[in-house]
A and B are shown apart, each in its own frame.
Chain A
Amino acid sequence: MTTIPAVLPAVDEVVQPNAPRPSARRGRSRRARVTYALTVLAFILPSAIPLAMFTLGPMVAAAWVSLHEWNLLAPMTWVGLDNYRSLLADPRTGDVFLHTIYYIAGYLPLVYIGGLTLALALNTALKGRSLLRGVYFLPVITSWIVVALVWRWLLNPSNGIVNTVLEAFGIAGPGWWSDPAWAMPSIILASAWKDIGFVMVILLAGLQAINQDLYDAAKVDGAGWWRRLVSVTLPLLSPSTFFVVVISLINGFQVFDQVYAMTGGGPGGASQVVVQQIYDLTFRYGKAGEASALSWLLFAVVLFVTVIQIRGQKRWVNYG
């Protein structure tokens, strides 16, 4: 008997590097085994029941709905794979995925490099670093609706503070969220600003776990600051980096709140992302079947990307 499932060996490696091996329990009495099974159930059911009912169940149901035409009110009509066909034929589907990928491509490097820089700086004996950590974490705890409001206002094309400052330097600021070409950069900017503290906290924890002796050894060998960063810090930080990248991609594909509040997908659909499209299809156009089909396409993409990352981690992630 083994705890490692054949299905997802790599996942198991990530989450249970030093997992307990089940002890041989063959010798136990029948009564002891029943007691043990009941104990396991008592510990596992409180989470298994809600997860099965409100996550796994709806997931299966979404697959069923995606094979129907349904406006949430009238009974469902079976249409087979028609929803998938029309989604794949619709140019807007490609657009919303492209916009989402555009968002991720802008957001991920910004938030990772920013978060890493902050973590490195706040991992030194900086004065008042507790306060600074708090300030940099402040946007993380703020509701997206608030952040979106503030940023929409800061980036107001005609009288927002950003364009006012740019104007003082003689630069004509762009139209930001009101300009199709600048809507997504505006969302990316606000998103990176908000999430930088989250990345910082995770990487800071990773940095603190690195054995200080390694730095001393590197210094004895004459390694400078840059060399220590590249040869000691980054490799040993790779598990945290992996975590940040996986989580950021999963969240990035689900980007919604900031789009909904900052641009609503506009102007002219220029910042329409997948989940905004799912939301619109369901609640604005009454096309729940098509929305479910799109949801499944999204899930397939997220799962695919995550599995690729888990498979690829052995090449660069360093589990001590």
Chain B
Amino acid sequence: MADATMADATTTDATTADATPVRSVGRPSLKRDTRSGTRRTVGFVLLHVVMIIGALLMFFPFLWTIITSISPGAGLTLAPALFPDNPSLAAYLQLFTERPFGQVMVNSLLLAVITTVVQLFTSATAGYAFSRLPFRGQGVVFAIYLATMMIPLQVLIVPLFSELKAFGLLNTYLGALLPTFATAFGIFLLRQAINQVPRELDEAATIDGAGHFRIFWTIILPNIRPALATLVVFAFMGSWNSFLWPLVVLRSPELQTLPVALAGLVGQYTTQWDVVMAGSVVSVLPMLALYIFAQKYIIQGVASSGIK
């Protein structure tokens, strides 16, 4: 019995997530049971091969997008060569000189940054209230908050449109921004994260004379950094990629955001696929940079905010 546990210790080592780098692969002589070790190594190599092929399939459309964007005159009639004959950045130049993509990106960036900052604030404060400030009817209020997550934006488009029309906010950034200021998703995420912060920390701070605002700022926020990073990515992504509401509320071309402008390119430039694809690449890059920056926090963040 004890022997079996010992023998299995190596197995666990190699397959346990994250904790252990792959030491044993390629050194089967170190293992006690060489035959099962070889079998495991073969399976392991196979897994790598499958995962890499899968990753290529995931990456393929992007590779294709990039190649097309630097192949002038590429059309639907010809699949682009892996290495185009005369690669050129003409499509990108056209986007930023003949088309207002510089302006469009600034617009989208502005909206995404404001949305993200405000959502961080509204989600963290509400999360704190629901986690740390018991009050009468709290459960009902939270249930109503959750129900808003079940209402599709499309359901709200018509009345929201008239509401903002009444406020005179159609075709303004404030009109585009206001409905994005608080989301049940963000509140839910941060509330769960705050629930995981040990209450002993608050109690210690209370004994030291700290009030709720100080506990929130100096104890809670530093302890939920992974969840905050997760929310930054999701909030930014939601705004950066949002299509329907900006399409409806922002009618002037100079206020247009990236997804709307991209969709517009297809109508006008059906044959200029290099321009369309250059637009696609340009729209993905800022989001990709943000994700890479936050990647290690995302997995950690979702885990700590307890889906369980």
Contacts and interface: CB of A to CB of B under 8 A. Distances in A.
Nearest to A141: B287
Contacts of B135: 22, 37, 40
B100 interface: no
B17 A146 contact: no
Contacts, number: 318
B163 A299 contact: no
B141 interface: yes
B20 interface: yes
A40 B126 CA distance: 9
Interface string B114-144: 0000000111011011011111111111111
B86 interface: no
Given A47-B126, A239-B308, A303 B150 contact: yes
B152 interface: yes
B58 interface: yes
Q: Is the interface of B mostly helix, strand, loop or mixed?
A: helix
A135 interface: yes
B304 to A, nearest CB: 9
A240 B187 CA distance: 18
Contacts of A39: 133, 211-213
Given A44-B126, A47-B182, A55-B156, A8 B307 contact: no
Contact of A240 (B65, B178, B182, B307): B307
Interface residues of A, number: 120
B17 A123 contact: yes
Interface residues of B, number: 118
Contact of A298 (B14, B138, B155, B162): B155
Nearest to B292: A134
B252 interface: no
B173 interface: no
16 contacts: A3-B138, A12-B142, A43-B212, A47-B125, A48-B141, A50-B122, A126-B47, A133-B299, A134-B291, A140-B237, A142-B287, A146-B283, A159-B76, A220-B4, A257-B244, A295-B154
Given A47-B145, A164-B79, A205-B303, 9 more contacts: A8-B146, A127-B22, A145-B259, A146-B283, A209-B307, A212-B12, A216-B8, A219-B12, A291-B158
Interface of A: 1-5, 7-8, 11-12, 15-23, 36-37, 39-40, 42-44, 46-51, 53-59, 61-62, 64-65, 72, 118, 121-127, 130, 132-147, 149-151, 153-154, 156, 159, 161, 164, 193, 196-197, 201-202, 204-209, 212, 215-216, 219-220, 239-240, 243, 250, 253-254, 256-257, 260-261, 275, 278-279, 282-283, 288, 291-292, 295-296, 298-299, 302-303, 306, 319-320
